[in-house]
A and B are shown apart, each in its own frame.
Chain A
Amino acid sequence: GEDVEQSLFLSVREGDSSVINCTYTDSSSTYLYWYKQEPGAGLQLLTYIFSNMDMKQDQRLTVLLNKKDKHLSLRIADTQTGDSAIYFCADGYNKLIFGAGTRLAVHP
């Protein structure tokens, strides 16, 4: 069945780059997504990439897609304390399948 896997935890120093990785199984997805969830808050769409693209850049965010390996990554440049949150990778055609989330901790 459809599955999305992510590493559970990432700790980075403020100002460094963060890279969050994700692997997925559903090759029929038209888009792949990154969502952010802060404590007590709802899910916020950060960015998405069309499945025929390799890379998408949006300000401090860079998404890389390797369709052959079914691997998606999110790079956050110049990570700030406000970036501390849980990041979810999601894919799917009619419905989104989410990973378990990567908790990003940013320390001074």
Chain B
Amino acid sequence: DTGVSQDPRHKITKRGQNVTFRCDPISEHNRLYWYRQTLGQGPEFLTYFQNEAQLEKSRLLSDRFSAERPKGSFSTLEIQRTEQGDSAMYLCASIPGQGTEAFFGQGTRLTVV
């Protein structure tokens, strides 16, 4: 257990539904990252926050995806109008301010049917 919590661990949803995932980073870690991992691939960067500010978004993050970190602590990732291609493991990681190590959560596995 790295100390980064993600909820839920698994989510099955029907195509077209909206889903929201939550990440609780290690407290006092001011950087928080979202990644997506599909089978046989490495994690792909989606977006990251420094405190509550979203500093970068990948081109992979379509308009259907939105992420927030309202108080600089936990973060949510919402996917609207899910598509089968959104099926993946969504990973969250946090890094302390001057740190080098990214601590990853166990991920949320999304299946869109």
Contact = CB atoms under 8 A, between A and B. Distances in A.
Interface in A47-86: 48
A33 to B, nearest CB: 8
Nearest to A48: B100
Contact of B45 (A30, A48, A96, A101): A96
A30 B100 CA distance: 9
B56 A43 contact: no
Contacts of A48: 100-101
B102 A96 contact: yes
Chain B interface bracket (under 10, 10 to 19, 20 to 34, 35 or more)? 20 to 34
A98 B43 contact: yes
B74 interface: no
Contact of A43 (B40, B48, B104): B104
B20 interface: no
B105 interface: yes
The CB with the most chain A CB atoms within 10 A, among B41, B42, B48, B55, is that of B42
Given A97-B45, A100-B40, A42 B107 contact: yes
B84 interface: no
A43 B43 contact: yes
B91 interface: yes
Q: Which of B44, B91, B104 is the most central at the interface, judged by chain A CB atoms within 10 Å of its CB?
A: B104
Given A31-B100, A42-B105, A43-B104, A95 B45 contact: yes
Nearest to A86: B42
Given A44-B104, A45-B101, 12 more contacts: A4-B42, A30-B100, A31-B100, A42-B107, A48-B100, A48-B101, A94-B48, A94-B55, A95-B56, A98-B35, A98-B42, A101-B42
List the 8 closest pairs (A to B, CB-CB), nearest first.
A98-B42, A43-B104, A42-B106, A42-B104, A98-B43, A100-B42, A95-B45, A101-B42
